């Protein structure tokens, strides 16, 4: 029998960061959209109903914003990997799906991006 799986999510998080490989991008803030699906670290909050037992969404968002502010990222792929690493190590998620998109980065293209599962 397969163990039940719970997924927490944070979708449509808009961040400003510096991301890109071109020299003009290195000095320009860009808006990216981030979607996260996070494996629940524990079934405990589903039983207890206590915030102390749950993943704190506000803490996750604050940490991701700090990461985006503190680092320049040459590639979306590396940025997505960094987000996945911090969610898994700092918040104890057994797995995470990260989808990150640059908005309006190319003429005629609404968004470009990458999605990873770790």
Length, in residues, of the chain: 118
CA dihedral 27, 104, 114, 85 (to 10 degrees): 40
Alpha helices by DSSP H, 1-118:
44-48, 57-70, 76-91
Q: Which residue has 């589903």 as its token pair?
A: 46
pLDDT per residue over 70-98, tens digit each? 878 889 999 999 999 999 999 999 999 99
12 falls in which pLDDT band (50, 70, 90)?
very high
Structure confidence at residue 71 (pLDDT): 75
For tokens 């609404």, the residue is: 110
| More confident of the two residues 26 and 107 | 107
pLDDT, tens only, 25-63: 677 888 999 999 999 998 888 889 888 888 999 999 999
* CATH code of the domain made up of 7-117: 3.30.1130.10
Whether the per-residue pLDDT at 2 is higher than 70: the answer is no
Distances in Å between the Cα of 38 and the Cα atoms of 14, 41, 48, 67 are: 17, 8, 20, 17
The answer to whether residues 34 and 64 touch, using CB atoms and an 8 Å cutoff, is yes
């Amino acid at each position: 029998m397969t163990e039940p799986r719970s997924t927490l999510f944070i979708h449509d998080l808009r961040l400003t960061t510096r991301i890109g490989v071109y020299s003009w991008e290195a000095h320009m803030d860009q808006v990216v959209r981030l979607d996260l699906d996070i494996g629940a670290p524990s079934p405990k909050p589903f039983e207890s109903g206590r915030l102390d037992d749950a993943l704190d969404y506000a803490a996750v968002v604050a940490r991701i914003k700090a990461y985006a502010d503190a680092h320049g990222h040459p590639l979306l792929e590396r940025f997505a990997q960094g987000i996945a690493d911090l969610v898994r190590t700092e918040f104890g998620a057994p797995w995470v799906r990260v989808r990150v998109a640059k908005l309006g980065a190319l003429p005629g293209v609404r968004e470009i991006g990458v999605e990873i599962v770790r």
